[in-house]
Structure 1
Amino acid sequence: MFPEKKSKWKLIVGIIVAILLVAVVSVFGAYKYMISPVNKHHTKNVLVRIPQGSSTVKIANIFKEKNLIRNPQIFAIYVKLHHENLKAGFYKFNQSQSIPTIIDHLSKGGKYQVAAKSVMIPEGSQLKEIASIIAKDFNMNSVDILKQLNDPTFIKGLQKKYPTLLTNDIFKPGIRYPLEGYLYPSTYFYSHDHPSLEEIVTPMLTETQKELTEYEAVMKEKKITPHTVLTMGSLIEEEATAFSDRALISSVFYNRLKAGMPLQTDPTVLYALGQHKSKVLYQDLKVKSPYNTYLNKGMPIGPIASPGKESVKAALYPAKSDYLYFLANKEGKVIFTKTLQQHNTEKAKFIK
């Protein structure tokens, strides 16, 4: 090849390379610009909801509609390039955050998620009280809630999800509320503004199942069912005070059962009456109900409240004792005794 032609080809190649470099730099610059914050000085947060099962394209469009990104296609490309798995839920973002930051938060979820709604169920709550809490926190009707929580079709749908937890024990004749004692006391967070009742109670059942799964081996060894554990746990929960020893209270109940004595625990009478009273009267003890442990020997037909972790544990691991009686003094200290005479002596001291 002639020197002039070589020189001409070198020039052409040089120009092409230069154009390509300029193009690459321009594309890179444009890409960098597109993934950068929309406005790095604007830090006011907006609530973003990512629905369950949303595609990357749908998520990208949500952020574009909120004016939090410049280009949804670039957002989708970034997700694909980095093989990120974006989690549903509620988040707070602002225009000072870049696409990499947004996607990092979405892929991690957890601490970056915010709750649209939350509800706190205290230990020892009865189903009626839980219904009232749900009604207040979610702007629902407590009567409708109780009606649905008593609906056999609704309950059987939950049984399919929790077959080992929600056994047919919850449908024993005389059971007031099938789910009494089964809704675990804790604080729950929801990613929907208006979750259904099923969406609200499902996490509570999940927590109860998780709690009992921890004791699966001991339950099997003692041949004790979830229904029995929760029933005993609820009695312990209702009798316990801040100073009491739940394991010792549990031992009293088990000792009485072994001796063939009625449990005679006042909270079961109050549950049978369906009301709260500061003092149980003699005539109250006569209320006819499968929950009344003064009239009926053995365990009540089902739980009378939602037991917490310590009460569930005490139901499975009672202390070793010879106690058959207990009472709480005015300070909340629980006094345990072995005989009725001792019990009456202590009762005369503290109960006026």
Structure 2
Amino acid sequence: MQQQNEAKKVRKAVLWVLSILFVLFVGLALGLYIYIHSALSPVDEENKKEIIVSVPTGSTVSTIAHMLEDKDLIKNATVFRYYAKFSNLNDFQAGNYEFTKAMSPEEMINRLQEGKVSNKATVKITVPEGRQLDEISTLISKETKFSKEEIEQKLDDKAFINNMKKKYPDLVTSEIDNAKIKHPLEGYLYPATYSFYKKDVSLEEILEAMIEKTNNVIAPYQPEIKKQKTTVHKILTMASLVEEEATDQTDRKKIASVFYNRLEKDMRLQTDPTVLYALGSHKDRVLYKDLEVDSPYNTYKVKGLTPGPIANAGKESIEAALSPEQTDYIYFLATESGEVIFTKTLEEHNKEKEKHITEERFQK
């Protein structure tokens, strides 16, 4: 009888313990479910403000999870990572994505898998052809938080320049160290539209993107540049002169031919844009008094190419500098209508000048 009572007590104790463990297990499971369910729900269903997230190529699920957590787009990076792993959702594509705090992790994962990248740039800068560094600095300052002075200082900063030399050795060479050069990176910021998706894009990233673009455009021409036994710096310099003299109606290869013909004959290039660059001014007319400016960029006084580019140049002008048309032209003249007249002798040139040049230039 006593043994039966003890057995009953043991069974009751075991049942009691099992009941407690079951309740604890159920409570733990319920708590874990609630925690995971909460972690996989939107951070703020009412907040639909778009946040740009840049996912680099080769990013792991763990990396992306922490990026989203850092931007407060998900509640828990670990839960996000395990959810993606156990759901076999890990084939994410690189790019710039728009997410909101109202989105669930599942929605974000689907977007990452489908590669639905953002087309909205936080910063967009358009740099036209034939623009000088001071003009480009103004364009950048209008679209960013950086001042014109800050941008110009960075472009002339030795540390930044040396960094670009290391990253783009085939483009940015020691030729830009010439003491006669006004700005080492003049002509190295390619004319194009640049879109940036990071909210806090740095000035270095903006400028490097423009230099990298120049590097990418020049790269296919490197074999021809070496074949001609010239340099990228000289090609960019010639291209800038062509770009500054060209109009919409001009054959750039003909302009390049005039410059090369003059160099071959040991004649001064005598191109007005170099005078304006030497003066550091932007104006429609060059006066005779302007031609007296003392500068290595003044091609009315100094023979040969300018020490470096006087502006950026587009692909068409770069190709003209590499492959000029074969002509006998020594002179050209741009009319007010935009037409460019090419001539072979000074006599022919002066006749055209009398027809098309107003008296304004002759003012002292």
Shared topology, TM-score over 0.5?
yes
1:291 aligns with 2:297: yes
- Match for residue 338 of structure 1 among 344, 349, 353: 344
1:137 aligns with 2:161: no
- Match for residue 87 of structure 1 among 75, 94, 110: 94
**2-structure distance, mates of 1:141, 1:66:** 28
Residue of structure 1 equivalent to 2:152:
146
8 Å contact kept, 1:116–1:191: yes
8 Å contact kept, 1:285–1:294: yes
Structure 2 counterparts to residues 23-102 of structure 1, below 5 A? 44=48, 46-50=50-54, 56-57=61-62, 59-60=64-65, 75-80=80-85, 81-87=88-94, 89-93=96-100, 95=102, 99=106, 102=108
8 Å contact kept, 1:185–1:306: yes
**1-structure distance, mates of 2:66, 2:156:** 42
Q: 1:83 to 1:238 in 2, by over 3 A?
A: same
**1-structure distance, mates of 2:281, 2:232:** 26
Structure 2 counterparts to residues 150-229 of structure 1, below 5 A? 150-229=156-235
8 Å contact kept, 2:97–2:116: no
> Residues 247-306 of structure 1: CA distance to partner in whole angstroms, max 9, x if unpaired?
111111111111111110000000000001221111211111111111011101100001
Q: 1:182 to 1:66 in 2, by over 3 A?
A: closer
Residue of structure 2 equivalent to 1:242:
248
Deviation for aligned residue 1:70 = 8.2
Deviation for aligned residue 1:97 = 7.3
8 Å contact kept, 1:105–1:112: no
8 Å contact kept, 1:253–1:324: yes
Q: 1:98 to 1:173 in 2, by over 3 A?
A: closer
Residue of structure 1 equivalent to 2:22:
none
8 Å contact kept, 2:138–2:148: yes
**1-structure distance, mates of 2:70, 2:294:** 62
Deviation for aligned residue 1:215 = 0.7
> Residues 91-144 of structure 1: CA distance to partner in whole angstroms, max 9, x if unpaired?
245757772x53343356574353221211111110011111122211212112
Q: 1:58 to 1:281 in 2, by over 3 A?
A: same
The secondary structure found in structure 1 opposite 2:98 is strand
Deviation for aligned residue 1:88 = 5.8
Q: 1:143 to 1:69 in 2, by over 3 A?
A: closer
Calculate the TM-score normalised by the size of structure 2.
Answer: 0.78
Rg bigger for which structure?
A: 2
The secondary structure found in structure 1 opposite 2:151 is helix
**2-structure distance, mates of 1:65, 1:210:** 34
> Residues 186-220 of structure 1: CA distance to partner in whole angstroms, max 9, x if unpaired?
11112322322211111111110111111112111
The secondary structure found in structure 1 opposite 2:129 is coil
Residue of structure 1 equivalent to 2:18:
none
**2-structure distance, mates of 1:195, 1:46:** 17
Deviation for aligned residue 1:55 = 6.0
**1-structure distance, mates of 2:295, 2:146:** 30
8 Å contact kept, 1:116–1:192: yes
8 Å contact kept, 1:90–1:115: no
Amino acid in structure 2 at the alignment position of 1:158:
M
Tell me how large the CA RMSD over aligned residues is: 3.2
> Residues 219-261 of structure 1: CA distance to partner in whole angstroms, max 9, x if unpaired?
1111121100110110011000111111111111111111111
8 Å contact kept, 1:87–1:108: no
Runs of 5+ consecutive residues of structure 2 not aligned to the other structure: 1-33, 359-364
Moved more, 215-224 or 87-96: 87-96
**2-structure distance, mates of 1:66, 1:259:** 64
Calculate the TM-score normalised by the size of structure 1.
Answer: 0.81
Runs of 5+ consecutive residues of structure 1 not aligned to the other structure: 1-29
**1-structure distance, mates of 2:243, 2:343:** 20
**2-structure distance, mates of 1:110, 1:281:** 56
The secondary structure found in structure 2 opposite 1:112 is coil
Deviation for aligned residue 1:69 = 6.6
The secondary structure found in structure 1 opposite 2:199 is coil
